Structure 1
Amino acid sequence: MDIKTTGKTGPAERDEKDGGAAGTATTGDLDGAPDGDLADDPDTDPADDPEDDLEDEAAAPAGKETGVGAGAAAVVSAALAAVALTGTWTGKVVSERETLVGQIKTSGSGTPAQQISEIYGDAWHSTALVNGAFALVALIVAVAVLVLPRHPSWVRAVATAGAVLAGLGLLLSIGTYFDLFLSLPTAGS
């Protein structure tokens, strides 16, 4: 907005001299508004209007969450549940360790039944424990996401999938640990 000033004194000097009544005249070139109108005042910025700020706040949805954290937690729960079903590198390392410990314990003096239990049974059970721990963590995260309110529908869908997969992984781990699905082989006499 261009403001034309006539006279030799500026606005600050005008106020000091005679209260701003003489010596200068300002005219706006946009709408011909009378002198002293806020539209022509160079000290006021339309962007700083507090009424506009209130309108912007009213236009923004209050309490609207993006669901990024909940979405990430839902994806993590689904991934952990899938890992619990397929097995982990950690489970493999623990299983290999149990196999080695079993071989050391029964190297020369163990009966075939002890060898089977120490070498294979302990390894299977430790793998089931590790996979069950992953499934339990996945289930806790999925339930936490589902319990918290106001999430987008895709977050609820992924968290539900994570909870179902984690529950299945937990059941399989429990069944494997207690030899419900497959029992340890027995040594022939």
Structure 2
Amino acid sequence: MRRMNPTETEKNTDATNRKDAEDTARPTEAVAEPEATGGAAADRTAGPDASADAPAAPADEDGIEDAEDAEDAEDGGIPEEKPRESSGLLSAAAGVVATGLGVVGLSGSWVGQVAAERQTLLGQLESSQGGSVAEQISAVYGDAWHTTALVNGVFALLALIVGVTVLTRPGRPGWVRACAVAGAVLGGIGILASVSMYFDLILALPQGS
């Protein structure tokens, strides 16, 4: 039997120790792998439960508002306001007023009456100082008549202006337009009558001897 050298004995011992160390490490790694696999499986198993238990995210109201703002921006930035339709009350009142002014322009008013009486009083004061008959007639009667014609002419002119203004407004009811037409016609007739009376074209002043 061959006798081994001390060096060979040490080499055999080292090889044996390395082999035993490898055999010991292999089961440990084999055991570790199932644990790692089980941990991943546990994580996958716990995943749905965790997501199910998580509270639902609230609805994004800001997103809805942003979408509405975007729609408004596409339409022009500011929503268009519908034009307000006029009730026609002002036009109706103006038509009635035009008719009333036209009647006053033809028949006279207390304003014209007071102005005429004042002018008559001034004429009497002037005629008391003397003068011809024609001058006295003109001072006492003529000036008063002319003042009445002037006041009535102003009312008739207002009736004509208001009536024509109402007629120029489109989309008015028939009765409103009828009142406006009546006021304009009466105003026109009143203006003609006032001008004729003021310039003595009709019913001229009598001439005294």
Q: TM-score, normalised by structure 2?
A: 0.60
2:157 alignment partner in structure 1: 136
Distance 2:130 2:185 in 1: 46
Q: Deviations over 1:11-39 (max 9, x none)?
A: xxxxxx9449xxxxxxxxxxxxxxxxxxx
Structure in which a larger fraction of residues adopt helix: 2
Alignment map for 1:23-172 (pairs within 5 Å): 64-172=85-193
- What amino acid does structure 1 have at the position aligned with 2:112? G
- What amino acid does structure 1 have at the position aligned with 2:93? A
Distance 2:177 2:84 in 1: 18
> CA offset at residue 106 of structure 1?
1.5
Distance 2:96 2:201 in 1: 30
- What amino acid does structure 1 have at the position aligned with 2:103? A
Distance 2:121 2:131 in 1: 14
Partner SS, residue 100 of structure 1: helix
Aligned structure 1 segments of 4 or more residues deviating by more than 3 angstroms:
17-20, 61-65
Q: Considering only aligned residues, what root-mean-square deviation do their CA atoms show, in Å?
A: 2.2
Q: Is the contact made by 1:142 and 1:163 (CA closer than 8 Å) also made in structure 2?
A: yes
Indicate the structure (1 or 2) with the bigger Cα radius of gyration: 2
1:183 alignment partner in structure 2: 204
Q: TM-score, normalised by structure 1?
A: 0.66
> CA offset at residue 108 of structure 1?
3.2
- What amino acid does structure 2 have at the position aligned with 1:67? G
Partner SS, residue 163 of structure 1: helix
Aligned length: 134
Structure in which a larger fraction of residues adopt strand: 1
> CA offset at residue 109 of structure 1?
1.3
> CA offset at residue 166 of structure 1?
0.7
2:17 alignment partner in structure 1: none
- What amino acid does structure 2 have at the position aligned with 1:155? V
